[in-house]
Amino acid sequence: MAKKRPQTKAKRPQTTGGASAAGAKGEVPVVGAREPCPCGSGRRYKACHGRAAAHAVTELVHRPFEGLPGECDWVALRELVPAATVALPLKDGLPEGVPAVTLATVLPMAWPALRRDDGSVLLGLQNDTSSGDISRDLADTLLRALEAAPGSPVQGRRAPADGPRLQDLLDPKGAFEPEVHSGFEFWVPDPENATPEVTASLERANAAAIPTVKLQGVDAAYWCETPEKNHLRWVMPHPEEQLLDALARLHAAGRSSLGEGTRLVGSFRAHGLTVPVWDLPSGMSAQDVEKPAAEFAERLATALATDAPLTVDERRARGGLTNRQVTLS
């Protein structure tokens, strides 16, 4: 049986004006869940102002990466790309003793973050998070990694409800330029001295990684290779309803493909953005799809600018696309 956590009986803070005055000021200190709420209402904290604090922690943020440079690539790296890294510039610059901060899709042993021996920080993106705001959870992990002892991993925890988000820590003018890798060798700068656990984790991760390439001619589009066919997954920033209308117009007109043997098959919905997906022939490489993707981007821009009502055929096409939409998050 787990031990019960001892409850402390802190002295009630002095407030004036009762519950209404404390609530209006928004200055209600956090105490134990079963202790009297410091607003003076006479109710336990968890049944009074604690409700709002708990809701703030669990409420789902549908677009956690909104406002960050490269929002579409953040979504792609979180949900679609097996192995990639990105240098993260901090708003206030790097702390002393931290030569670099790097975002990584996955870290060995599924660590949320790692402070390397040289003081640099690796922040894992594809870990499970304990609250409804991925941005706040990642920011909390990053801050703890910056203060961790070199050579140690950082474990996950529930971020404080009033803690900073990535948008508060990262340079809003900094570039977000993912580097996609064929495997996870970036985990270990010195593979010969890696621990057996890390080596085994590296081998398992490399065996499961799907070959993926980021297109250069358009934003946030990723080619990937599977045994039966290849795919293009393209994270787009446009409002979902507007984008689905535009895709339906092109689909009904027979202009939604990326060339012979390709087909727009549906879309994902991830972190508030829509990700159209195309099936590609197995022989179609990432380089082969660069030009067709750029040409499709021009057709899509024209369709997005059209506000005429959808025709019967376009509505039918839209229904088909909607039925083949899968929500990832």
Q: What is the pLDDT of residues 253-269, one digit of tens each?
A: 999 999 999 999 999 99
Residue 58 has pLDDT above 70, yes or no: no
Residue-level pLDDT at 199: 85
Please check whether residue 135 is in contact with residue 166, taking contact to mean a CB–CB distance below 8 angstroms: yes
**Higher per-residue confidence, 15 vs 123:** 123
Distance separating alpha carbons of residues 103 and 77, to the nearest angstrom: 10
The residues that bridge with 266 in the sheet, in sequence order, are 277
Angle between helices 240-252 and 312-323 in degrees, nearest 10: 120
Residue 208 has pLDDT above 50, yes or no: yes
Higher pLDDT, 142 or 329: 142
Burial call 203-229: b when 16+ CB within 10 Å, e when fewer: eebbeebeebbbbeebbbbbbbbeeee
- Compute CA distances 305 → 168, 247, 301, whole Å: 34, 12, 6
Mean of pLDDT values over 23-42: 54
| pLDDT tens per residue, range 135-154 | 999 999 999 999 999 999 99
- For residue 8, pLDDT beyond 90: no
- Check residue 192 and give its pLDDT: 75
For residue 38, how many other CB atoms are within 10 A of its CB?
21
Which pLDDT belongs to residue 229? 93
The H or E element containing residue 244 is: helix 240-252
Angle of the 286-304 helix axis to the 240-252 helix axis, nearest 10 = 110
Alpha-carbon distance values, 298 to 250, 263, 293 (Å): 11, 18, 9
Check residue 33 and give its pLDDT.
56
Q: Which of 21-35, 200-214, 292-306 has the highest mean pLDDT?
A: 292-306
Degrees, nearest 5: CA angle 298-180-135: 85
More confident residue, 41 or 240: 240
Residues in CB range of 115: below 8 A, 6 or more apart: 121, 145, 146, 148, 149, 150, 151, 152, 153, 154
In this model, does residue 30 exceed pLDDT 50? no
What average pLDDT does the chain have? Answer: 87
Split at pLDDT 50, 70, 90, the class of 95 is very high
| Model pLDDT, residue 37 | 67
Q: What is the rounded average pLDDT of the residues 79-107?
A: 97
Q: Which of 124, 118, 121, 116 is nearest to 101 (CA)?
A: 121
**What pLDDT, on the 0 to 100 scale, is given for residue 38?**
66
* Model confidence at 222: pLDDT above 90: yes
Residue 182 has pLDDT above 60, yes or no: yes
